[in-house]
Structure 1
C-alpha cells in the first residue's frame, strides 16, 4: 500500500500547458466548469461520480471466491505437468528433486506473490490491468500516443483525471520528456504493447492444448493400451466442444467455475499433505536455497535448460493483473494468499515427496502420486479444471482483441458481450475459429506436453518481462519511487525473469518457435492495420471541410432539408470530414437534424455512460447541425449498447441544447421538440467509408502494404456496420477514394 500512496502523490497532469489556467481560476475564486474549445465551440457539460468495487468485507470475500474460478484456473492446473516438463530426461540424482522444489518455492513466492499481488496490482488503470492498462497509463501521463485524436475535454472524464502532484521529480520529468520527444520511443512502446498482447493471445492457444492433454493423459493409468495418438484425438474432441460453446459465454456456467476450482485446490493441497507425510517429510528443507546452488553445480547447463520447465509453475500469472478489473485488488490478494499460494506449495511439496521414493514415475508425476481410491474423482475434477482454465484464457484472448481494436491496432471484427454480470467478458467469432484450428493442429502435431511446454514457456516469460519493463517506467515517471527501490526491483525481478527468458529461448527449435511465429504474424497484421489507419486519419485531418465552406453549404438554395434525424459516422474527431462534402456534392439534401458522430477510444479502461457523449453545434442554430464525439474506453463494448444508442445520443443532444444557454427558453423548447419529432420520423445512419489506395509514385513496399495486405484484411473481415450492428434497413453507406 505504500507504493500506492507514493504513486498517488506522484501523479501528473497530461495537459501541462493548461495547469496554470486552472490554478489561476481557483486562486481567483472562480469555481465551476472550464470551457474548452478543441471542437471550435463549447463542447458540453461533463459530470460523473466514480464508484469503487472495494466495499464491505462481505462483498470483498464474495469477489475473492468468484476470482478463483476466473483467474486461477491456469496457474492452478500447472501441477499436472510441471515436474514432467522439468525432468524430460528423467531424474539423475535424488537431491535434484530438492533443488527443483526449491526453485519452485522461490519462483511462486517472488513472481506471483511478491511481484504481481503486492506490486503490479497497484499499477492498475482505474481498476483494470494488463499490458494495455500499463500502456494507457503511460500514455495518459505523457504524450506518447501516435493517434492525433487527443482533446482537452478528455481530461474531464472522471476516470481520466490525474491528481496534481505535490512535488515535482526531476528524474520523472526527464523520462517523460525523453518519451515525448522520441518517435522511436513512441513506436517502441506501441510495438512492444502489440507484441505483448500477441503473446497473450498465443497463451490462449497453448493453454487449452497443454491443460487438456495433461488432464486426458491420466487415462493411460487406467487403460494402458492408450497411446499418444489416442490421447491427442480425445483431447481434440474436448477442445472442439470447448470452442463450440464459447459463443454462449462464461455467464451461463459462471456460477460453477469458482466451486470447481475451489474443490480442485483443496484436493491437490490435501493429496500433497498426505504424500508429504507418507513418503518424505524432510523435503521441506528445500526452503533452503542452498539446494538450488547444489542443483546447478551438479547439472550445469542442463539445470539452466530445465528452468524452462520450472517457469511453467506460474503459467497464467498475468491473469492476476489482466483480470483485476473484474474483481478488485483486495479480493485478488485475499484469494491468492489464503487459497492459491498455500495449495500450490502443498501440491508441489507432496509431488516432490512422492518422487523421492519413485523417481521413475516423473513422466506422469501428478496421476501416479494420487492415492488409488482418489484416482477417478481427481481425474474428473482435473478435466473440469483444465476446461475452466482453457476457457478463461480463451476469453482473455478475446478481451485482448477488443482492446487492440479500440486503439486502431486490429482489423475490424465483431465483439459480442456475453455476460451481464462480468464486464469485459466478450466473444469474437473470427478469433474463436482461428484459435480453435490452431489448438487442434498443435495438439495433433505434438501429441504430448513436452514441446507444447517449451512453446508455453516463451509466451509466459515474455509477457512477464514486458510487464516488468513497463512497470519500471511507471515506478519512475508516475509513482516517482526512490531510485534505490527501482534498482532493487530490476536486480531481483529483472535478472530472474531474464534468466528464465534465456532458458525458454534456448528451446526455440523444440517448439518455442510456435508462439514467436504466431506473435510475429499477429504483430505484422496489427502494424499494417495501424499504419494505414493512422495515414487515413491524417489525410482526413488535412482535408477537413473549412468553416467557410460549411457556411456556403448552409445557405445553398439548392440544398433540400428532408424529414428525420441523420447520424453521419466518421473516425475524425476534429473538424468536419471531407467525405461530407463528397456526399453533399452527389446528394444535395440534408435531414432536418444532422449529427456528425465520431467514435474514439480514450487511454482509459472504461468511460462512464453519462460522460460518453460530447456535443457541439456546427453552423447557425437554425440549421440544427451538431457534432458528437462518442468516447469509449478500451474495455467498453460498443455493440452491446446499440439497442439504446440512438435514444442515449438524442437524450444527450437534448441536454446539450438545454444547457447551451445561448437562446431564450421558448427557442430552446422549440428546438428540443424538433429533435424529438424528427427522431420519431426516423433515424438514418450515414456511414462514411473511405477506400484507400497507394497514390501514383508510391514506393513498392507502400503499394504492397496498402493495395494488397490492408485490402485483403478489409475484404475478409467485418464491415464497419456489422461491428456497430447498425440495422441495414436504416443504413446508407457513403464512400470515397483516398490516395495515400
Structure 2
C-alpha cells in the first residue's frame, strides 16, 4: 500500500470513525489501540451471550445439489455395511429361523435410533458454524466455558465473527452456570475433556485404517463365487487396490462429490431394488420384525450368544459419525434430506431383503450379500460393490486428514505438512506422512487378519467408542449451552446412552479376537498426542512466566550500544501475551534491531474459520519512534495457513491499515474532547473549522510518514526470525519427566516438520534463534 493508497484507506474509514467518536462509549474503541491490554495479559472474562445475526441459508436449489454430492462423500461407509453385517452377526450359523427376525428388528431399530434420530435430528444441530466432529464439540465447550488448558484467551477473541454462541433464552440458566463453574474450576475436568477429545480423534483415525480393510476385503471376496480364486488371492487383490487407493491421494479430491455421488446412487438403487425383489420373492412375513418383541425373544433363546452377536449388528451403523464429521463440506439440511430420502430407505430395504433370503437359505449366511443376488446381476453388482468400497475408504481417509489438521490447531499433534489440494474447497487436505502410515497400517491389517469377521470385531470398537464420546459431549452441550429441559436430557441419556453402552460392552467382549486393534492404535496415537501436548503446554507456561515486559523492550531498544539496520523483521513465537524470553537472548548476541520489528504470534481460535479482515490483531510497543509492533495472527481450525498470497505481504498490508486507523482514531477522539471542552459560535466556528482542517492535514501527513517507514523497510527486505527453543528437563526432575521431555518430545520434534516448512517461510530470508528452556 503506497502513501496515496493510505489516503484512500483513511477516507474510506473517516465516516465510520466519526460515528465511533460520536458514540458515548467511544473510549472503548480507542482502547483497541492501547498497549496495556490482552496482548499483555489473559482475559479474565468476557460475555458469550451476544450472538451475531445468522446469515440467510442457501437457496433450496443449492441445498439439493449439496444433498446429491453428500451421497458420494458421506454414505459410502454405512452404505457398504450390507456386504458383511449378517455374516459378522451369525458367525456360528443360524440356529433358529426366528433369530433372523430378531436380528432384523435389531438392525431396523439401531439404524432408526442412532443415525436417524440421534445424528440427523439432534447431533447435527451441535455443529460449530457448519463444521462437525469431536473437535467441533470440544470447541463449542471451550468457547462457552474456559476449559482450555493454555491461558491464551483474549478479550478481542469474542469480537470475531461467529465466536459468540447463539444461546436460547431460557430460565434454566442456574443449572448451566453451576456446571460451567465446576468445569472451569476443576483441573481434572479440563484434562478429562482434552483426554476424551484425543481418544475420539484417535478412534476416528483407527476407523480410517479399518474402513478400507473391511470394505475392500468384503467387496473383493465376492469374486470367489464365480471364479476359482482362493482366500489368499482375495487378500492380495485387496492389498493391491488399497495401495493404489493411497497412492492417488496426493492428487486430491477436488471433484469428489460429483464423481462419486452417481456411483453411490447406483449402489443404493441396486441394494434397495434387490432388497425389495428378495422380500417379495422369498418371505414377506419378515415385515413382522418391526415388532420389537422379536428382539426380546431373540435374547431369551440365545442369552449370552445374542449379546455377543451385537458386535456384528453394530456394523450396520459404521460410518454414522461421517454424517456429523463431514457436515462442514455441506449443510445440515442437505445431509438430512439425503439421509431421509435415499440412504435410510435403501438400507432398510437391503437388510429386509437379505433377511427374507436367509429365511429360505439359512446355510448361506457367510456369503449373504452375493448369494442373494439374481444371477444376471452378479458381475455388475460386483463392479459397483468394489467401486463403492473404494469410495467408502476414500471418505474415511479424507476425514482422517481433516481430523489431524484440527488436532494440530489444539497443539495435540506434532507438526506435519498439510497440502491443500483444492483452491475451490478449503476443507480438502492431504498429509503425506499420515497417508503413508495409513497405507502401511491398512496393508498390514488386511494381510494379517485376512478375514472380515476378525476385522469386524476391531471395527465395532472404534465405531461405538466414538459414538459414546459424542453422546457425552452432546450431553454437556445440551445442559450448558442449549439449556435443554432436564427431562429431555435424561431421556436422551437413558435411551440413546444405554443402547450405545450395551453395544460397547458387546464389542469389548471380543477384545482378544481382534478388538484390541483399534485400542492399540488409540494407545499409540494418544501417547504421541499426550507427549506433544504436555510439553507444548509446559513451554507456553515457561514463556508466560519469563516474558519480557514492554518496558524492558524499550530499555533494550534505546540502548546506545544497539544499532538500527534497514529492513523489516518478523519475530515468530507461540506466546500470545507479551514478548517471549528468546528475544532477550537474541539481543544479547546480535546487538542490532531492524528499522521495523513485528513480533508475530500464530494463534488458533476454537472456531472453524476466522475471516481475513479479522485475522490480525496489532499493538504498538511504545515509544512510537521505535516502530516495534506486536501481532497475533488468528486462525480457525480449518483455515488455510499457507495462502496463495505470501503471509508476509498480507501482514505488512494489514500493519499499514492498523497504523492509518490508529492515528486517525486518536486524532478524532482528541478533537472531540477539545470540542466538548470548549464552545463558541460565529467567528469562533470559522476558526475551529480552519483549525480542524489543519489538524486533519497534519494527521494525514503523519499517516503518510509512518506508512512510508514501513514501505521502505519492506523494500529493504523482510527477515523472518524464528525462535527454535530446545527443551530439556530441569535439574532434579524425576525419571518420568526426563523420559517425557528429553526422549519422547525431542524424538518427535527431530523427526517431524519444522516451523519454517509448515508456514512456507523462504529459506533465503530465514534466521533461526536457538535457546534452551529448562522445564
The reply on whether 1:278 has 2:281 as its aligned counterpart is yes
TM-score, normalization: structure 1? 0.93
Alpha-carbon distance in 1 for matches of 2:202, 2:22: 46
- 1:202 paired with 2:218, answer no
**Alignment partner for residue 657 of structure 1, among 659, 678, 691?**
659
1:216 aligns with 2:238: no
Equivalent of 1:648 in 647, 650, 654: 650
* Alpha-carbon displacement from aligned partner over 1:441-497 (angstroms, at most 9, x marks no partner): 000011110010000000000000000011110111111111110110011001100
Distance in 1, Cα, partners of 2:433 & 2:616: 30
Unaligned runs of 5+ in 2: 1-20, 40-50, 668-698
Q: What is the total number of aligned residue pairs between the two structures? A: 711
Give the Cα separation in 2 of the matches to 1:29 and 1:583: 41
Q: C-alpha distance in 2, partners of 1:181/1:41?
A: 24
C-alpha distance in structure 2 between counterparts of 1:382 and 1:592, whole Å: 65
Aligned to 2:746: 711
Q: Is the 8 A contact 1:446 1:452 kept in 2?
A: yes
Q: Which residue of 1 aligns with 2:18?
A: none
For the residue of structure 2 that corresponds to 1:128, the secondary structure is coil
Give the conservation status (yes or no) of the 8 Å contact 2:573–2:600: yes
2:368 is the counterpart of 1:365: yes
Counterpart check, 1:407 vs 2:410: yes
Match of 1:178 among 173, 179, 182: 182
Counterpart of 2:231? 228
Which of 14, 36, 48 aligns to 1:40? It is 36
- Per-residue CA distance 1:227-286 (angstroms, 9 max, x = gap): 221111111111011111111111154431111111111111111111111111111111
TM-score (normalizing by structure 2): 0.89
Distance 2:31 2:366 in 1: 68
Give the Cα–Cα distance (whole angstroms) in 1 for the partners of residues 25 and 755 of structure 2.
48
Shift of the 482–30 alpha-carbon distance from structure 1 to 2, 3 Å rule, reads: farther
Residue 385 of structure 1 is matched in structure 2 by 388
Mark the CA change 1:37 to 1:100 in structure 2 (over 3 Å): closer, same or farther. farther
1:443 to 425, 443, 446: 446
For residues 376 and 562 of structure 1, what CA distance do their matches in structure 2 show?
A: 74
Task: Identify the match of residue 585 of structure 1 among 585, 588, 592.
Answer: 588
Specify the alignment match of 2:481 in structure 1.
Answer: 478
Tell me what 1:425 maps to: 428
Aligned-partner Cα distance in 2 for 1:127–1:665 = 43
Distance 1:421 1:53, change over 3 A: farther
What is the rounded CA distance, in whole Å, between the counterparts of 1:303 and 1:423 in structure 2? 46
Alignment-derived partner of residue 107 in structure 2? 104
Deviation readout 1:179-222 (Å, 9 max, x if unpaired): 01111100000001000100000000000000000111011011
Are 2:730 and 1:726 equivalent residues in the alignment?
Answer: no
Deviation at residue 33 of structure 1 after TM alignment: 4.5
Say yes or no: does 1:678 pair with 2:682.
no
How far did 1:696 drift? Answer: 1.2
TM alignment of 1:51-70, pairs within 5 A: 52=55, 54-70=57-73
- Rounded Cα–Cα distance in structure 1 between residues aligned with 2:600 and 2:467: 39
Distance 1:237 1:143, change over 3 A: same
| Separation (CA, whole Å) in 2 of partners of 1:170 and 1:410 | 37
**Equivalence for 1:8:** none
- Find the partner of 2:152 among 137, 149, 154: 149
Change (3 A) 1:717 1:256: same
Q: 1:682 Cα shift? A: 2.0
- Cα distance in 2, alignment partners of residues 548 and 531 from structure 1: 31
State the secondary structure of the residue aligned to 2:731: coil
Whole-angstrom CA distance in 1 between matches of 2:356 and 2:98: 11
Q: How does 1:337-736 map to 2 (within 5 A)?
A: 337-639=340-642, 641=643, 643-661=645-663, 662=666, 664-736=699-771
**Contact 1:42–1:616, Cα closer than 8 Å, also in 2:** no
Q: Which moved more, 1:333-342 or 1:247-256?
A: 247-256
Distance 1:136-1:538 versus aligned 2 partners, 3 A rule:
same
Could you tell me how far 1:26 is from its partner in structure 2?
A: 14
Distance 1:222 1:556 in 2: 86
Q: Distance in 2 between matches of 1:107 and 1:611?
A: 44
Measure, in 2, the Cα distance between the counterparts of 1:211 and 1:535.
Answer: 42
Residues 245-394 of structure 1 mapped to structure 2, 5 A cutoff = 245-394=248-397
| Alignment match of 2:196 (pick from 192, 199, 203) | 192
Higher mean alpha-carbon deviation, 559-568 vs 513-522, is at 559-568
Deviation at 1:720, TM superposition (A): 1.1
Distance 1:49-1:724 versus aligned 2 partners, 3 A rule = farther
Matches of 1:192 and 1:219 in 2, distance apart? 41
Q: Do the aligned residues in 2 keep the contact of 1:595 with 1:628 (CA within 8 Å)? A: yes
State the superposition RMSD in angstroms: 2.0
Question: Shift in Å at residue 644 of structure 1?
Answer: 3.0
Alpha-carbon deviation of 1:422? Answer: 2.6
| Counterpart Cα distance in 1 of 2:231 and 2:224 | 9
Unaligned segments of structure 1, at least 5 residues: 1-24
CA distance in 1, matches of 2:165, 2:206: 34
Shift of 1:82: 0.6
Distance 1:356 1:27 in 2: 77
Displacement of 1:54 after TM fit?
A: 2.8
Distance in 2 between the 1:49 and 1:145 partners?
23
| Cα offset, 1:126, TM superposition | 1.1
Structure label with greater radius of gyration = 2
Superposed displacement of residue 164, structure 1: 7.0
Distance 2:336 2:438 in 1: 31
Aligned to 1:213, the other structure's residue is in SS state helix
CA separation of 1:232 and 1:38: change in aligned 2, threshold 3 A: farther
The verdict on how the C-alpha distance between 1:27 and 1:33 changes in structure 2, with shifts beyond 3 A counting, is closer
Cα deviation per residue 1:364-405 (whole Å; 9 max; x = unaligned)? 111111111111111111111111110110111111111111
SS for the counterpart of 1:597 is: strand
- Contact kept, 8 Å, 2:128 with 2:137, in 1: the verdict is yes
8 Å CA contact 1:38, 1:151 repeated in 2? no
